[in-house]
Chain A
């Protein structure tokens, strides 16, 4: 049984890696292989959820690499595996035969496998591994159509933003070690000593908030829309953004132990739910609207983690995963058929493609919080926990729920409008549409939208209690009847008002609408405050390196040469002069000494006589 959890992560990761490396040769079998691997993964996930395997092997000194499926993980692995399977199923119709499907399918499997590692990891080390691989594969998936530079740039923005937040997990790992949690086990993290506990919590909070596209990191999610629709469907539902929410739910005890983590996280979630909801309302592009709503809906999960409602947050995560993947696949189906995702151009899209329209509307109604659909109950479960903590949180959450009803109704209203005469002029802006929804897409849409509906059963008290017992952590309170009624009335009112209002002008200043429409221009802000100064600093340092440091170094040999010449002129010449002088003197003396040596005997005698005389005189006078 223990091998089950290894298999659960190895099947998608291994198949995906092999598939991604086969190149164009693998394109033909790729969809079949991908669906098979995803199905096997789903079966393994269900088996693992039932048998609850746990394994552990040594990783680093004193740090184990552990994977385990407990209650929370059980819910997550099934969600991830199921959504992956349906998205892959859908994607077989999304790509033309000549597109690199092997690369796509392989990367999707690795992506899902990395998410499975993240949600089954028992320690920070392995969690970080899954977490980072997921980020890198998201880069490759968002930039899937790499010939178009704007898509790759979008992928760069998404990856670098999430990786900036990921540094938090490196920090957290170091802080855990320093704080006495040598094993890095997630369950032991709340025992870290101060002040490391604060660093640890801060790191986890930043990483989770970044991955979940919460304020202020939300802008990367907008850029992530440049990828294929099925990528968005997976990235926005059960993986990537869900990972941040999962981490916070998993480490709820840490947030509680830190003392300040809970309110910070709760308010971040609530603020994101409200503000990004408004951003969603201001969008004129269907995928952008859905993306902003993802941030907002994940905000409820984050709020739940901050308020201590792990069960409620998990329910929200699962229900949102089903809903949002259905919505993105519907948007993807229209994109394939009509070649556009601009809302004005999608007028009447639901009438033209009825099945897509119906599933989209069901999912949108779920997103709006219409009873008795799933997000209505799960959101109220989250809000019920929030109400126990603070009325302000509850009120903000409720306001966010109203906004959710507005943007959902707005999207649904547009697609059900009568198709205008010149509808075709707005189509084919992204690529040439096929004018038909692929047959493969239908079952995936129906199943996911159906799941979004059926998961409303999570709200039935016995089911909710069972789930609570399954997850088994955190305090949890079921929403009271008046709360359910209140949110239902608010959602229905807001949705009907929006429907009735239609596309008449909204009494909001244009500047504000633009500001919200551009996701509050946070990307621009990051560009101005972080990217540009970094690039300037980099260029300055590079210039310093070339012009100052290198010159200083190169001036050492230059100074050496100069010194050498100086010595040559200043010392060598005079010294040489002295030596020459000595030599000249010696030569002169030599010449002189040669003169007596005439070779003639009589002259030698004369010289000898003269020398003897001198010697005799010397002896006489000196002695």
Chain B
């Protein structure tokens, strides 16, 4: 089942390779939408069939490189299934959004289909090497998306992105090898490593392994100070690329914390949880403050990603702090962290697609150049307004469900840090309102050719963005369907980390 979900897009890509580019772009975009929709349907089916017990489901294990302890081992639990679902939903949204794509449609579609397999594969991988392969391939895929379909200084940004995150992935590989060597018998299997806990005791070796893995994941997340690749990559990437980069690729970093760093190195994690908390809260405040000073809409959203991912890091750090807290609070924090990944995926994905609309109409992200877009484009303004309020953590949207759990759960274990992180909520509210105010309200002003006006959302844009918003509202109003899946797994994770 899982392998079908993962490899369906790749199989479709393999078929489409044979179709000549002259067949017309509709063939490619149409089949992309169909495949993405089919994949999402499969994920929904898997969700319905998922047993809420909290264990691994749809597990499958085949030998791959037995001599090196590597196997093709896949499965999902409550931590990964929501991310698989978000990935499938976001790729479908991007497929619909890209129906108007005109530039090199065939290779664009092929690349995104490949990226989808890679992303889904990563969230289902239960083997470190498999995880690493997907992790690296995602970087390669995104490099080409930015370099070939980006704008501005796309090549340079793409190269920076590639080299930086690739370096991070090498650190990750180093850590994985460290884990492999510590295990007896040597294995890269995540489940086996969780069970045997080879680095129990948390000696220096464990600390070094955690450092390597931590740096690798921190680059991808990204946390301060490893975030500088993110703003240029986002600014110069095409809208769909940005949405996938923010919505899916960043989650690979945070997902790595809950899937690998915490359960595989529980003792070391507890030992250094304070450091993680500090990095988290610095990311929250730094990301929010720098975003406040941005003039470029996309750069601003990119920095709010640093802020939002900072909450996740704060929560997983706080979950490792044992002193003065009970299991409920820490489990709440981890559930909040996973919810935040889901929520951020949906909302930031939507925000970047909306930024794409801005660029499509007037080829500028400069907030100072726009004003009063709510006049000519009320639907665009209304949808952006809702996404912005959702993004600043308003109840009724998914962001609140995530942030409330994170903050309420983390306050006990990490009091001062969480109290400081609360300020991030206020700064985010300020900066997003400011952006909304500047771009959409007031007298209408559009850069470039004002006589042509500003067209409101087109059908493909509405059909791709509004469902993401609808999902965020669904989670915000009726969160149980999601939390029922996440909670048992986060309780299990807390059990592993605190034992």
A139 to B386, alpha carbons, bound, how many Å?
13
- Which residue on A lies nearest to B413, using beta carbons? A178
Indicate if the CB atoms of B332 and A177 lie closer than 8 Å.
yes
Indicate if the CB atoms of A61 and B332 lie closer than 8 Å.
yes
Q: Is the CB of A520 closer than 8 A to any CB of chain B?
A: no
Q: Among the listed stretches A246-254, A532-540, A592-600, which one makes contact with chain B, having 4 or more residues with CB under 8 Å of it? A: A532-540
Q: Among the listed stretches B25-33, B89-97, B284-292, which one makes contact with chain A, having 4 or more residues with CB under 8 Å of it? A: B284-292
Indicate if the CB atoms of B394 and A133 lie closer than 8 Å.
yes
Indicate if the CB atoms of A160 and B426 lie closer than 8 Å.
yes
Indicate if the CB atoms of A167 and B426 lie closer than 8 Å.
yes
Indicate if the CB atoms of B389 and A136 lie closer than 8 Å.
yes
Indicate if the CB atoms of B394 and A132 lie closer than 8 Å.
yes
Q: Is the CB of B400 closer than 8 A to any CB of chain A?
A: yes
B-side contacts of A148, CB under 8 Å: 442
A-side contacts of B453, CB under 8 Å: none
Which of A129, A146, A196, A554 has a CB less than 8 Å from the CB of B374?
A146
Given contacts A132-B394, A132-B395, contact A167 B404 (CB under 8 A): no
Q: Is the CB of A465 closer than 8 A to any CB of chain B?
A: no
Which of B331, B395, B415 has a CB less than 8 Å from the CB of A61?
B331
Indicate if the CB atoms of A542 and B422 lie closer than 8 Å.
no
> What 1/0 flags go to B416-439 for Cβ under 8 Å of A?
001100110111011001100100
B-side contacts of A149, CB under 8 Å: 437, 441-442
Interface SS of chain A: helix
* Residues A524-554 near B (CB distance < 8 A): 534-535, 537-539, 541-542, 545, 549-550, 553-554
Indicate if the CB atoms of B479 and A542 lie closer than 8 Å.
no
Taking residues whose C-beta sits less than 8 angstroms from the other chain, chain B's interface range is: 35 or more
Q: Is the CB of B164 closer than 8 A to any CB of chain A?
A: yes
Interface SS of chain B: helix
A546 to B163, alpha carbons, bound, how many Å?
18
> What 1/0 flags go to A97-138 for Cβ under 8 Å of B?
000000000000000000000000000010011101100100
Q: Is the CB of B335 closer than 8 A to any CB of chain A?
A: yes
Indicate if the CB atoms of B407 and A174 lie closer than 8 Å.
yes
CB distance from A140 to the nearest CB of B (A): 8
CB distance from A172 to the nearest CB of B (A): 9
A196 to B290, alpha carbons, bound, how many Å?
32
Which of A57, A163, A171 has a CB less than 8 Å from the CB of B426?
A163
- Which residue on B lies nearest to A57, using beta carbons? B480
A254 to B436, alpha carbons, bound, how many Å?
39
* Residues B359-380 near A (CB distance < 8 A): 372, 374-375, 378-379
Which of A143, A174, A534, A538 has a CB less than 8 Å from the CB of B441?
A143
Indicate if the CB atoms of A542 and B293 lie closer than 8 Å.
yes
Given contacts A159-B433, A545-B290, A549-B225, contact A178 B325 (CB under 8 A): yes
Which of A147, A550, A557 has a CB less than 8 Å from the CB of B442?
A147
Indicate if the CB atoms of B434 and A534 lie closer than 8 Å.
no
Which of A60, A164, A174, A553 has a CB less than 8 Å from the CB of B418?
A174
A182 to B330, alpha carbons, bound, how many Å?
12
Q: Is the CB of A507 closer than 8 A to any CB of chain B?
A: no
Indicate if the CB atoms of A178 and B412 lie closer than 8 Å.
yes
Which of A152, A160, A177, A550 has a CB less than 8 Å from the CB of B411?
A177
A-side contacts of B292, CB under 8 Å: 534-535, 538
* Residues B269-307 near A (CB distance < 8 A): 286, 289-290, 292-294
Q: Is the CB of A175 closer than 8 A to any CB of chain B?
A: yes
Q: Is the CB of A59 closer than 8 A to any CB of chain B?
A: yes
Which of A128, A132, A143, A174 has a CB less than 8 Å from the CB of B412?
A174
Indicate if the CB atoms of B433 and A147 lie closer than 8 Å.
no
Given contacts A143-B441, A549-B228, A554-B160, contact A174 B411 (CB under 8 A): yes
Which of A163, A184, A541 has a CB less than 8 Å from the CB of B293?
A541
- Which residue on A lies nearest to B421, using beta carbons? A170
Among A21, A156, A167, A541, residue most surrounded by chain B Cβ atoms (within 10 Å): A541
> What 1/0 flags go to A161-202 for Cβ under 8 Å of B?
001100100110111011000101000000000001000000
Indicate if the CB atoms of B228 and A163 lie closer than 8 Å.
no
Indicate if the CB atoms of B433 and A139 lie closer than 8 Å.
yes
A209 to B260, alpha carbons, bound, how many Å?
45
A595 to B261, alpha carbons, bound, how many Å?
71
> What 1/0 flags go to A480-503 for Cβ under 8 Å of B?
000000000000000000000000
Given contacts A167-B422, A535-B293, A549-B228, contact A23 B378 (CB under 8 A): yes
Indicate if the CB atoms of B335 and A61 lie closer than 8 Å.
yes
Indicate if the CB atoms of A539 and B293 lie closer than 8 Å.
yes
Which of A128, A152, A539, A553 has a CB less than 8 Å from the CB of B404?
A128
> What 1/0 flags go to B316-339 for Cβ under 8 Å of A?
000000001110110110010000
- Which residue on B lies nearest to A182, using beta carbons? B328
Indicate if the CB atoms of B441 and A170 lie closer than 8 Å.
no
A159 to B428, alpha carbons, bound, how many Å?
13
Which of B164, B325, B328, B479 has a CB less than 8 Å from the CB of A59?
B479
Show 13 A/B contacts (Cβ-Cβ < 8 Å), sorted by A. A23-B382, A59-B479, A129-B396, A133-B394, A146-B374, A149-B437, A160-B433, A171-B422, A174-B418, A177-B411, A184-B408, A538-B427, A541-B286
Identify the 4 closest CB pairs spanning chains A and B, nearest first.
A174-B411, A178-B412, A129-B395, A542-B293
